[in-house]
Amino acid sequence: MKNICLSFQVHQPFRLRKFPFFDIGEAVDYFDDAANTAVLKRVATKCYLPSNKLLLKLFQKHGKEFRVSFSISGTFLDQCEQYMPEVIESFKKLAETGNVEFLGETYAHSLSAMKSKEEFIRQVNAHAEKIESLFGERPIAFRNTELIYADFIGETVYEMGYKVMLTKGSDWVLGWKCPNYMYSNCANPNLRLLFKNYHLSDDISIRFSDRSWTEWPLTAEKFVHWLKAIPQEEEIVNLFMDYGTFGEHQDAKTGIFDFLGEFPEKVLKQENLKFITPSEAALLPNMGDFAIPYPLSLENEDRNLTAWLSNDMQQDALDTLYDLEDKVVNCQDTKLRKDWLYLQSIDHLYYMSTKGSSGSNLHTSFSPYNSPFAAFINYMNVLTDLSQKLDRVPNHRNFFGIQFI
């Protein structure tokens, strides 16, 4: 039996308002409520609400035979609670069917795994609590930000109690090996690894509407034919993609919703195909350990971290951000702590990218800035202001002039 693991990422950052140098030291909020509201409502109208409505119909039609998973960032959930609670309600309806598995991730969709193990653990635990409070289940499978993975990250994830982790099936990592098997972390073989089949995933998420593509138009029937052609011994096909594929990146007029609506039925008509969630996939036979000493990710053709850390601006911004960690941890001001959390979303680093890759070009097209340098200056002004505010508030180590150890 060949298993299809269909997983969607859902994320929105809190976008920054224009923050000029002369606003440093003034009582000004960092985030642009108008922009955040407008973007969320636009994407919700085009993608989240119609996609969730369609999935609910498909779950009702196919029962437990059709299952998917979602990785939903905490910043997305916070935005929905503030601006569009009906989006949260639509996800709750999906959760009530029992056909959805919610995955763990970092709360702010951040690079904390690369900069601070302590902050990474705090965010993952906070995210798990948020998911449990909204949808009634605590995640047991994990998807790090943009599928970023390395052996040391896997070790931490396993220490936190997760049994399976999703990552990117890069050619330079897999070599001659195939992504369509279950593997495991080399340090902790009990942590299973699911590698994205990026060729098939990108056929849907990137190439679906490309009329110059030799396989256009892509139909559900054609795609299932490709799945059937995969050798039977290859037990799992991991289709991981941004949920914005449906209605946002691929507009409704491309036929993407027709594809999604027909896909489950075409799969379930085949005797040797079935849907499976990541936690269920963890029970498949392990084909061997994988050593991945250097981080790999979902983004850009290099499948590394250069979409966020390819230039001095990005590296300086990230270092400055995490240099504030001790101040934030000891701070009693919950608003400043939340501001720092939201500033960790990797989107802020995307906007500073000067790398000429498909990945950075995609995100640059959504940038609210005129240039990467403008994004850097605005972000650093905010960090400077935040640092000054943190210096002015009391903390639990030095409260009322008394030093606590």
The secondary structure of 233-291 as a DSSP string is T--EEEEEEEGGGBTTTB-GGGTHHHHHHHHHHHHHTSTTEEE--HHHHTTSPEEEEE-
Is residue 404 in some structural domain? Answer: no
Is residue 297 in some structural domain? Answer: no
Token pair 């180590």 is found at: 397
Q: What pLDDT band is residue 292 in, cutting at 50, 70 and 90?
A: confident
Per-residue pLDDT reduced to its tens digit, 63-109: 999 999 999 999 999 999 999 999 999 999 999 999 999 999 999 99
Question: Which stretch of DSSP H or E encloses residue 105?
Answer: none
Lowest mean pLDDT among 59-63, 111-115, 294-298: 294-298
Is residue 13 in some structural domain? Answer: yes
Highest-scoring range by mean pLDDT, 160-174, 231-245, 288-302: 231-245
Q: Tell me, yes or no, whether 150 and 200 share the same domain.
A: yes
Say whether pLDDT at 4 is over 90. yes
Q: How far apart are CA 44 and CA 86, in angstroms?
A: 10
The rounded mean pLDDT for the chain is 91
Q: Tell me, yes or no, whether 282 and 364 share the same domain.
A: no
3-state DSSP assignment of residue 100: strand
Q: Tell me, yes or no, whether 253 and 314 share the same domain.
A: no
Q: How many domains does the chain have?
A: 2
Q: Tell me, yes or no, whether 233 and 317 share the same domain.
A: no
Where does a domain end: 259, 290, 321? 290
Q: Tell me, yes or no, whether 188 and 271 share the same domain.
A: yes
Query: What CATH number is attached to the domain comprising 166?
Result: 3.20.110.20
3-state DSSP assignment of residue 393: coil
Q: Tell me, yes or no, whether 230 and 336 share the same domain.
A: no
Say whether pLDDT at 385 is over 90. yes
Residue 163's pLDDT is 94
Q: Are the CB atoms for 66 and 19 separated by under 8 Å? A: no
**In the predicted model, what is the mean pLDDT of residues 139-147?**
96
Is residue 9 in some structural domain? Answer: yes
**In the predicted model, what is the mean pLDDT of residues 220-225?**
98
Residue 396's pLDDT is 53
Q: Smallest Cα–Cα separation from 114: which of 139, 149, 141? A: 149
Q: Check residues 153 and 400 and name the one with the higher pLDDT.
A: 153
110 forms beta bridges with 345
Per-residue pLDDT reduced to its tens digit, 244-260: 999 999 999 999 999 99
Say whether pLDDT at 20 is over 70. yes
- Class of residue 233 by CB neighbours under 10 A (exposed 0-12, middle 13-18, buried 19+): exposed
**In the predicted model, what is the mean pLDDT of residues 312-335?**
96
Token pair 């693991």 is found at: 5
Q: Are the CB atoms for 235 and 183 separated by under 8 Å? A: no
Q: What pLDDT band is residue 298 in, cutting at 50, 70 and 90?
A: very low
Output the CA–CA distances (angstroms, integers) from residue 218 to 200, 204, 207, 244, 301, in the order listed: 11, 8, 9, 18, 22
DSSP state of 216: P
**In the predicted model, what is the mean pLDDT of residues 343-356?**
91
Q: Tell me, yes or no, whether 13 and 100 share the same domain.
A: yes
Share of the chain above pLDDT 70, in %: 90
Residue 225's pLDDT is 97
Question: Which stretch of DSSP H or E encloses residue 95?
Answer: helix 85-96
3-state DSSP assignment of residue 91: helix
Q: What pLDDT band is residue 174 in, cutting at 50, 70 and 90?
A: low
Say whether pLDDT at 400 is over 50. no
Residue 403's pLDDT is 35
What is the number of residues in the chain? Answer: 405
**In the predicted model, what is the mean pLDDT of residues 260-271?**
97
3-state DSSP assignment of residue 345: strand
234 given a catalytic annotation: no
Share of the chain above pLDDT 90, in %: 82
Q: Which of 105, 119, 146, 299 is catalytic?
A: 146
- Class of residue 285 by CB neighbours under 10 A (exposed 0-12, middle 13-18, buried 19+): exposed
Is residue 399 in some structural domain? Answer: no
Q: Tell me, yes or no, whether 237 and 354 share the same domain.
A: no
Where does a domain end: 290, 316, 342? 290
Residue 89's pLDDT is 98
3-state DSSP assignment of residue 167: strand
Residue 357's pLDDT is 44
Say whether pLDDT at 284 is over 80. yes
Where does a domain end: 290, 318, 342? 290
Q: Tell me, yes or no, whether 252 and 319 share the same domain.
A: no
Q: Tell me, yes or no, whether 269 and 317 share the same domain.
A: no
Is residue 356 in some structural domain? Answer: yes
Q: How far apart are CA 378 and CA 363, in angstroms?
A: 17
Q: How far apart are CA 380 and CA 363, in angstroms?
A: 20
Residue 361's pLDDT is 41
**In the predicted model, what is the mean pLDDT of residues 218-243?**
96
Indicate the pTM of the whole model. Answer: 0.92
Say whether pLDDT at 173 is over 80. no
Is residue 296 in some structural domain? Answer: no
Q: Tell me, yes or no, whether 35 and 68 share the same domain.
A: yes
Q: Tell me, yes or no, whether 367 and 253 share the same domain.
A: no
Residue 302's pLDDT is 47
Residue 365's pLDDT is 52
Lowest mean pLDDT among 16-20, 132-136, 147-151, 383-387: 147-151
Q: What pLDDT band is residue 376 in, cutting at 50, 70 and 90?
A: very high
Residue 304's pLDDT is 54
Phi and psi (nearest 5°) for 212? -85, -10
Is residue 67 in some structural domain? Answer: yes
Q: Are the CB atoms for 114 and 84 separated by under 8 Å? A: no
**In the predicted model, what is the mean pLDDT of residues 198-223?**
97
Residue numbers of the domain that contains 242: 2-290
